[in-house]
Structure 1
Amino acid sequence: MRSNRLAIVGAGPSCTYVLDRLAATAKAADGPLSLDIHVFDRAGQFGAGQVHSPEQPVTSFLNRIVGQVAFAADESVVGAGPLLPKQDRPTLLDWCRARHEETGDPVFDLAAEDWPKRYVHGLALADQFRRYVRMLREVPGVEVHLHHGEVTDLEERADGTLTVIGADGERLLDADHVLMLTGHSSNDPARYPRQAEWTHFADRRRAVFVPSAYPLENAFEPGQAGPGSTVGCVGMGLTGIDVILHLSEGRGGVFEEQPDGTLAYRASGQEPDSIVMFSRAGLFTFARPYNAKEQNPEELEHRGVFLVEDAVHRLRRATDRTVTIGGIEQRQLDFRDHVFPVIVLEMAHLYYTTLLGADFGRHLEAAARPEYEAFLADAGRGAPSDTSVRRLLAPLEALVDQAVGTIDAVLAGTMGLAEAKERDWDAEGALRRVLLVVFGPERAADLAARLDDPAEFAAAVAAAESPWRHPKSVAAQRFSWERSIRPIDRGSFGTPEEYRAAMLDFLDLDHLWAAQDNLTNPAKAAADGVWRDLRDVLAAAVDFGGLHAASHRDFLDVFMRHHNRLCNGAALEVMEKIRALIRHGLVDVSAGPEAEVTTNQESGRFVVRGGITGAVLPVDILVDSRVHPFDAENDVLPLYPNLLGRGLVRKWSNPAVDGPDFAPGGLDLTEDFHPVRADGTVDRRLTLLGPPSEGVMFFQLGALRPNQNHHVMQDILRWMREFWGQYGTAVETDGARITTGV
């Protein structure tokens, strides 16, 4: 009997998770198996993949705390089937603790709330990958083959199999099923006008253009980006931050703690003269807050009050914009006009609940709900977004006006606590919560002890300082969406020097707020609780053409930037290093918002020009320091363009009723992640998880989380059940045995 042949293309984190499920289910099989698993990885980084390579620069951090990373299914995963023994499925925290006990290396000495180095995650992934491979090879009838090489194409055979083709055209394997786990790639700069112009200029002049920062260890040629050169980074997100640390700490520079607790940078002399950072907004992603929710995620992670999936469904029913996608009629929303006003309402409610306490939050919900229900019923009556935002916030803000009038009067000593208690809501509870948020528990308790004497209490409040730079009144802490995303007032600067000073001041404030945590700081709680904890609701609004074409483009171009800045930033430790580098002068942020790249033909250098600050900053090396969106047609590697050319896959397009269709770049996939071919049929021999689904689905990336029934594992289970159903013998996948013919 011929073995069933599974080809897995890409051996990064998702492959490690897949091998966990294959190992667990294969070990539980009822009867003999006949399965050949072939894993192909272009970089040969089995388990980690290139992005999480153990060989990458040690300066890069994982963008998730160590307690929130797993490698295998656990008891929380619905329908997971058999689980491996607990000792064979450590979390990253477990793995680091064990490694620290073995080696004593402080890099592994991490608490659940700490941020690990990215290469540490890679070491753990590779270790778990090897463990799962050993387990699979111990199962009779199962073979696992690892191939260090690039897959460039797939070819259909007359017998129904898919031939896996290598970089030199060699036919590597005839596979019954191919699982694509290719992860991130980059796009050909020649296919994009702006990048093509930069490439052409660099080819003819002394300047250098780096079209993709990753892999960082190969981004710069030997001798490049050293003393005497200026590097410019297009993009101030996580990739740009990686570049900064690679060119500073990675070149031998040292961060030293100062008496006031801040960091100072001591240069090695191997750094470039300057690293110019710029973007459309002129802002880094905001510091991720200390994650106080990790104490008990099930109870502490935010559950939507207004931003819930039912609200999305009701808004859909109230709209009349309908298209047919994949043969199914879909009522489409406008994200800006329909969903965004509810997001702002949810943020405002969570912000004020954090500031004024749970009881006040319940009164806010009751006040806001009638207008909210009306909005869901009429979908905004065609009003523009800002009008709908004001409509939804008005009842809530009216109640906050009462809190301002009452609590601020008590804080100022012009109203006694007895009079304040006459309100319908718990004024004393709200006041005590404000004191806690503004001053911290010890100082708040000391101040509250003086409440019986209004004058003494007011004097003590006036003399106290907030450790987090909070204003000492509710009026000065009103929620503002605009301030949330544009925290540096455009009227506060006009020169490069003024913007640098404003940026440093904001980074100081942002650091303090992030240090306060995501349950106590109102701004961080609102951003983290809505844009991170409620991603599933955003997916319900966006996935499979949930937005009309123009709105979908607007969502990816505008709102995903807000999402990334508000809740997908770097760790506190990392942002403190960035602040130190700006103070030192190595990192230059003076371009400010609306900066543009021009070229100087005479000098042969790129020039960054500040749109508001007027800065003029020549650079020798320009780095596109952004993660490229998946674009099957324009990928720099040949695999996806070749699959498109063969018609095995096609790009997904959001059809427009009036105006052009929108094709984000991802593939047309079913809900089970099978590709829709050029002829409209579905190919169930091929499954694609991760970046290829970008566009048709929202936020399919991310490391596996423990104890969360995580969507990454659920996607893998969809594939696995079908795979065993087609090619397995008898395995338990969701609590019940399935038996099929081979």
Structure 2
Amino acid sequence: MRSNRLAIVGAGPSCTYVLDRLAATARAAAGPLSLDVHIFDRGGQFGAGQVHSPDQPVTSFLNRIVGQVAFAADESVEGAGPLLPKEDRPTLLEWCRLRYEETGDPVFDVAAEHWPKRYVHGLALRDQFQRYVRMLREVPGVNVHLHQAEVTDLEDLEDGRLAVLTGDGERVVDADHVLMLTGHSSNDPARYPSQAEWRRFADEHRAVFVPSAYPLEAAFGPGEAGPGTKVGCVGMGLTGIDVILHLSEGRGGTFDEQPDGSLVYRPSGLEPDSVVMFSRAGLFTFARPYNAKERDPRRLEHRGVFLTEEAVRSLRLSAGTPATVGRRSQRQLDFRAHVFPVIVLEMAYLYYRTLLGEDFGARLVRAVLPEYEAFLADGGRGQASDVSVRRLLAPVEALVDEAAEVVDGVLAGGRPLAGTGGLGWDAEAAVLRFLDVVFGPEQASALTGLLDDPEAFAAAVRAARSPWRHAKDVAGQRFSWERSIRPVDRHSFTTPEEYRDALLDFLDVDHRWAAQDNLTNPAKTAADGVWRDLRDVLATAVDFGGLHAASHRDFLDVFMRHHNRLCNGAALEVMEKIRALIRHGLVDVSAGPGADVVTDAATGRFVVRGTATGAVLPVDLLVDSRVHPFDAENDVLPVYPNLLRRGIVRKWSNPGAGVPDFAPGGLDLTEDFHPVRADGEVDRRITLLGPPSEGVMFFQLGALRPNQNHHVMQDILCWMRGFWKQDAAAADPGGSLITTGV
């Protein structure tokens, strides 16, 4: 029997998950196996990959709580097949507890709701990878080969296999199947006008340009970004935050906790003079809320009421524009006009249900339903997005007007609670819920005891303080999409100092709201429940040309930024450090929104200009601290440009109707992740998971979650089913794995 040769390119987290499934399946196989697995990793970081390397700076945090990380399929995964024994598939939480028992190292002493260091995740990934490799090697007929080498190309062979070529041109293995798990990369700055100009300027002057912040340990050369220098960071997201902590805490600075829980930064003297942070919005990603859903995710994670897959299908029928995308017929939507109004409605519903209780939420659904169903049926009648948003929110606003009159009347002592019946919603329950949200259980209980005395109750409400800085009336807590994404009023500042103060004030509020949690704080509940819990619905709207070309560009350029800021931020612990660094003065946020970069040949420095604040901030070193989108043609590593050149893969493009086509940079893939070649044929010998699918699909990244039937594992199972089916075809040299069906 001819050996089936599998080449896996990239040995990061996804490879670890794949090895779990291979090990479990191989151990349970009924008949003999003849399988050679060749795993390639450019940096030799087997199991963790570069992003989660155990050797990275200890200042970086994983953007997922400990209780939400797994390394193997579990009982929740539909169609998983055989599972490994439970002791061989610990979650990250279980792995950390075992490691803490063995070592006593406090870094492993974590609870489910804690945010782990990213290198700890890397240690666990490496450990599990090694465990799965040992298991596979124990199965008769299975061989596993680890190659610390960069795969640079694949070459078609006459026998139907693919030659796997490494950086030195060596033909390492002729593979029957290649699984590409290359993860994050970066793009060649020479291919992008602004980055190319920055690099040219740096080459000709004393300034330094860092085109990609990762890996952090290699981003800055000896003597760079130290005392006497100023660093500018393009981007205020998670990567920018990693850079800040690397240049402060990573340089030996410390944080002292104050009696009120805030932090004060104590510099080491090895930091740069300042780190200038700027972006289009002038905002950091918002703090991730304490995850109260973790105690029972299946029950507590939000299921859409208005934003559902059925709603997307209805909008396609009523408003979709017929198009052919590749070989697929699609009725394309305009995200801003058709989907976004329903998103805002879902957020408003969650916001007010959280603020005023379940009964009020149920009444809101009944009030909105006729207009919502009409919107699905007419697709918005071709009206602008803001018109449709107002249309869907009109019944919400009317009901909230009523709630404001009733609840605020009770809070002010002018309306007895006993006279609030006959409304169609339980006013007493709404008042009690409002008190609980605004003041917390302890204060709310004391206030509730005064409800029979309206005057004393109103006086107590006026005197009470909201720990989360909530307004103390319904009228002061109206939901607003604009305030959600632009929380710093553009009219509240005119100088750099005023913007710094305004941003610090918002960060204080945001910190308090995140600490309140994602089931009790209205704003955090709305953002988390829609943009995180309902990602699958968003994927239904976007994937495989679900949006027309111009709208798809708009979605990635505008709405993905909102998504990342609203629900993909850093942990409270991290953001408290950022606040301390701003207060200390090491981090400079005074450029404000809309800042840009110019070059100053006279001084040889970059200059960050605050168009809204008037700030002028020269910097010696400029870091592109944004995660680069996958771009096969412009990737800094050679494998994808080479595959494009050979025609083994092609870029996916969303065809424009009267406007230019939109090619986000990802590859043209089938639903089961096989590439469409330049000639239009599907190559089932190759499977690509992760970033190469970004563009044709939405949000394919993420760590595996336990007890969730997680999409990351389902994608791997999709590959697994095809791989084992192809085992027989691989044994037959005459079998073809290139087909014409998409």
Q: Distance in 2 between matches of 1:654 and 1:203?
A: 37
Are 2:320 and 2:333, in contact at CA under 8 Å, matched by a contact in 1?
no
Query: Letter of the aligned partner of 2:649 in structure 1?
Result: V
SS at match of 1:607: strand
Query: Letter of the aligned partner of 1:603 in structure 2?
Result: T
Matches within 5 A, 1:178-577: 178-577=178-577
Partner of 2:673: 673
Partner of 1:101: 101
- TM-superposed CA distance for 1:259, in Å, is 1.5
Query: Letter of the aligned partner of 1:487 in structure 2?
Result: P
Query: Letter of the aligned partner of 2:68 in structure 1?
Result: Q
Deviations 1:687-740 (A, max 9, x none): 00000000000000000000000000000000001101111699xxxxxxxxxx
Q: Distance in 2 between matches of 1:469 and 1:324?
A: 51
Matches within 5 A, 1:684-703: 684-703=684-703
Q: Distance in 2 between matches of 1:320 and 1:158?
A: 45
Q: Distance in 2 between matches of 1:421 and 1:121?
A: 54
- TM-superposed CA distance for 1:261, in Å, is 1.0
- TM-superposed CA distance for 1:323, in Å, is 1.0
Query: Letter of the aligned partner of 2:449 in structure 1?
Result: A
Q: Distance in 2 between matches of 1:101 and 1:374?
A: 59
Partner of 2:600: 600
Are 1:337 and 1:385, in contact at CA under 8 Å, matched by a contact in 2?
yes
Q: Distance in 1 between matches of 2:7 and 2:502?
A: 53
Deviations 1:505-533 (A, max 9, x none): 01100000000000000000000000000
- TM-superposed CA distance for 1:423, in Å, is 2.2
Between the two proteins, the alignment pairs up a number of residues equal to 730
- TM-superposed CA distance for 1:657, in Å, is 1.2
Q: Calculate percent identity across the aligned residue pairs.
A: 80
- TM-superposed CA distance for 1:317, in Å, is 0.3
- TM-superposed CA distance for 1:424, in Å, is 2.1
Are 1:595 and 1:611, in contact at CA under 8 Å, matched by a contact in 2?
yes
Are 2:592 and 2:612, in contact at CA under 8 Å, matched by a contact in 1?
yes
Q: Distance in 2 between matches of 1:31 and 1:666?
A: 39
Q: Distance in 1 between matches of 2:274 and 2:641?
A: 38
Are 2:44 and 2:148, in contact at CA under 8 Å, matched by a contact in 1?
yes
Are 2:237 and 2:284, in contact at CA under 8 Å, matched by a contact in 1?
yes
Q: Distance in 1 between matches of 2:329 and 2:727?
A: 33
Q: Distance in 1 between matches of 2:371 and 2:252?
A: 58
Q: Distance in 1 between matches of 2:729 and 2:108?
A: 41
Q: Distance in 1 between matches of 2:320 and 2:273?
A: 57
Matches within 5 A, 1:14-25: 14-25=14-25
- TM-superposed CA distance for 1:422, in Å, is 3.8
Q: Distance in 1 between matches of 2:184 and 2:363?
A: 46
Query: Letter of the aligned partner of 2:717 in structure 1?
Result: L
Deviations 1:376-422 (A, max 9, x none): 00000000000000000001110110000000010000101111234
- TM-superposed CA distance for 1:328, in Å, is 2.1
Please list every run of 5 or more consecutive structure 1 residues that lacks an aligned counterpart in the other structure: 731-742
Deviations 1:234-273 (A, max 9, x none): 0000000000000000000000001211000000000000
Query: Letter of the aligned partner of 1:579 in structure 2?
Result: R
Are 1:545 and 1:654, in contact at CA under 8 Å, matched by a contact in 2?
yes
SS at match of 1:7: strand
- TM-superposed CA distance for 1:656, in Å, is 1.0
Partner of 1:727: 727
Query: Letter of the aligned partner of 1:568 in structure 2?
Result: N
Q: Distance in 1 between matches of 2:136 and 2:397?
A: 59
Are 1:7 and 1:37, in contact at CA under 8 Å, matched by a contact in 2?
yes
Matches within 5 A, 1:40-51: 40-51=40-51
Are 1:3 and 1:34, in contact at CA under 8 Å, matched by a contact in 2?
yes
Q: Distance in 1 between matches of 2:469 and 2:421?
A: 28
- Aligned-residue Cα RMSD (Å) equals 0.9
Please list every run of 5 or more consecutive structure 2 residues that lacks an aligned counterpart in the other structure: 731-742
Q: Distance in 2 between matches of 1:475 and 1:146?
A: 63
Are 2:409 and 2:415, in contact at CA under 8 Å, matched by a contact in 1?
yes
Deviations 1:326-354 (A, max 9, x none): 22211000000000000000000000000
Query: Letter of the aligned partner of 2:714 in structure 1?
Result: Q
SS at match of 1:380: coil
SS at match of 2:540: helix
Q: Does 1:584 align with 2:607?
A: no
Q: Distance in 1 between matches of 2:658 and 2:538?
A: 24
Are 2:590 and 2:615, in contact at CA under 8 Å, matched by a contact in 1?
yes
Are 1:30 and 1:729, in contact at CA under 8 Å, matched by a contact in 2?
no
Are 1:33 and 1:729, in contact at CA under 8 Å, matched by a contact in 2?
no
SS at match of 2:655: coil
Q: Structure 2 length as normaliser, TM-score?
A: 0.98
- TM-superposed CA distance for 1:211, in Å, is 0.1
- TM-superposed CA distance for 1:603, in Å, is 0.1
